[in-house]
């Protein structure tokens, strides 16, 4: 029987709206056999999620999604880590610095929105944050609640991206550092949702080249945010660059009815799955 893998999702430890237990239970109901929790820049949801998965007899992979600032143009890209060891000092020190930047950035977003007449955004966003990190998603929830935007998409478009009032440029980890923290803790590093960056083919190849040079081995060919065409293209890239293929919904909340846990198309046949690896022997 085909097993269902979902190797990218978020809980209230970062910008998801379900607690780790609620998230794992929902994945179980959706028939997921192996789940990785990959919160942004924090591992605090992993313990609870792992315990719930064990109680339910479901496979669980400790994960992370690290924010990276890449190349001269300082573009933000996300690197997922699978099978990371949360006891790694280097990993935890690195993540702590990213969270410190997040806190400063959140205050700065609040100040910038206040200049445009939107008062109380920082405190409002904090109300939505359930864990140690504060994300643009929490600002978006506040802005929607206050009637400034009708939905998430609209809110990012008008307030939280480049050239909009609440935008603050990222100053995240380097690609080398992020991949190093993951592999140094025994994990596999994966380029998250590659089609989302809207890079030219040349630029994406440069990213993959640098990623491989610093020890990256995985590529998220199937993402809940990729189209069928994008999956085909990313599958061919994974094959060409000999990267192991991963798949994950990037689920954040049941309120996004288009994106559910465990509802993903299969990996293209040309791909080598990331779970064909000894780290996964106890799980598959």
Residue from the set 26, 28, 78, 226 that interacts with Mn ion by CB under 5 A: 78
Parallel, antiparallel or unpaired: strands 59-70 and 75-82: antiparallel
- Report how many residues bind Mn ion under the rule CB under 5 A: 5
Q: How far is CA 213 from CA 58, 100, 126, 234, in A?
A: 34, 28, 38, 19
237 vs 228: CA distance, rounded Å: 15
Whether 66 contacts 41, CB under 8 Å: yes
229 vs 251: CA distance, rounded Å: 21
* Residue among 8 and 83 whose Cβ is closer to ligand AMP: 8
Binding-site partner at residue 26 among Mn ion, ligand AMP, none, CB < 5 to 8 Å by type: none
Q: How far is the CB of 37 from ligand AMP (least distance, A)?
A: 14
For residues 233-252, which are near Mn ion according to CB under 5 A? 250
Binding-site partner at residue 153 among ligand AMP, Mn ion, none, CB < 5 to 8 Å by type: ligand AMP
Residue from the set 4, 11, 15, 251 that interacts with Mn ion by CB under 5 A: 15
Binding-site partner at residue 136 among ligand AMP, Mn ion, none, CB < 5 to 8 Å by type: ligand AMP
Binding-site partner at residue 226 among Mn ion, ligand AMP, none, CB < 5 to 8 Å by type: none
Q: How far apart are the first and last CA of the chain?
A: 12
Taking every pair of C-alpha atoms in the chain, what is the biggest distance, in angstroms?
57
* Residue among 197 and 241 whose Cβ is closer to ligand AMP: 197
Nearest residue to ligand AMP, scored by beta-carbon proximity:
135
* Residue among 189 and 271 whose Cβ is closer to ligand AMP: 189
* Residue among 111 and 153 whose Cβ is closer to ligand AMP: 153
Q: Which residues bind ligand AMP (CB under 6 A)?
A: 15, 40, 67, 135-137, 152-153, 156, 252
Question: Cβ–Cβ contacts within 10 Å for residue 206, how many?
Answer: 14
Binding-site partner at residue 67 among ligand AMP, Mn ion, none, CB < 5 to 8 Å by type: ligand AMP
230 vs 247: CA distance, rounded Å: 13
Q: How far is the CB of 192 from Mn ion (least distance, A)?
A: 5
Binding-site partner at residue 12 among ligand AMP, Mn ion, none, CB < 5 to 8 Å by type: none
Among 54-62, 74-82, 84-92, 182-190, which window interacts with Mn ion (CB under 5 A)?
Answer: 74-82
Using rule CB under 5 A, residue 141 touches Mn ion: no
DSSP secondary structure letters along 103-124: HHHHHHHHHHHHHTT-TTHHHH
CA-angle at 17, arms to 164 and 56, nearest 5°: 150
Q: Kindly give, in sequence order, each residue whose CB lies less than 8 Å from that of residue 77, ignoring residues fewer than 6 positions away.
A: 68, 70, 175, 191, 192, 197, 207
Q: How far is the CB of 114 from Mn ion (least distance, A)?
A: 24
Q: How far is the CB of 117 from Mn ion (least distance, A)?
A: 27
Binding-site partner at residue 246 among ligand AMP, Mn ion, none, CB < 5 to 8 Å by type: none
**Which spans of this chain sit near Mn ion (rule: CB under 5 A)?**
15, 65, 78, 192, 250
């Amino acid at each position: 029987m085909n097993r269902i893998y979902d190797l990218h999702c978020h809980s209230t430890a970062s910008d998801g709206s379900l607690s780790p237990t609620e998230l794992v239970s929902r994945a179980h109901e959706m028939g997921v056999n192996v789940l990785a929790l990959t919160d942004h820049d924090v591992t605090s949801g992993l313990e609870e999620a792992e315990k719930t998965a064990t109680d339910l007899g479901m496979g669980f992979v400790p994960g992370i999604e690290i924010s990276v600032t890449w190349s001269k143009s300082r573009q933000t890209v996300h690197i997922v880590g699978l099978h990371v060891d949360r006891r790694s000092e280097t990993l935890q020190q690195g993540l702590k610095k990213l969270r410190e930047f997040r806190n400063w950035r959140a205050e700065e977003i609040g100040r910038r929105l206040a200049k445009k007449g939107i008062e109380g955004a920082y405190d409002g966003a904090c109300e939505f944050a359930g864990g140690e990190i504060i994300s643009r998603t929490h600002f978006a929830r506040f802005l929607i609640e206050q009637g400034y935007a009708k939905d998430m998409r609209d809110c990012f478009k008008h307030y939280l991206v480049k050239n909009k009032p609440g935008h603050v440029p990222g100053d995240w980890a380097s690609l080398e550092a992020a991949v190093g923290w993951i592999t140094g803790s025994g994990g596999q590093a994966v380029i998250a949702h590659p089609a989302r960056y809207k890079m030219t083919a040349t630029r994406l190849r440069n990213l993959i080249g640098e990623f491989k040079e610093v020890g990256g081995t995985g590529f998220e060919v199937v993402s809940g945010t990729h189209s069928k065409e994008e999956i085909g293209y990313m599958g061919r890239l994974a094959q060409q660059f000999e990267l192991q293929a991963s798949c994950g919904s990037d689920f954040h909340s049941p309120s996004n009815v288009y994106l559910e846990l465990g509802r993903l198309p299969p990996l293209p046949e040309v791909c080598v799955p990331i779970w064909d690896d000894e780290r996964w022997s106890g799980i598959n």
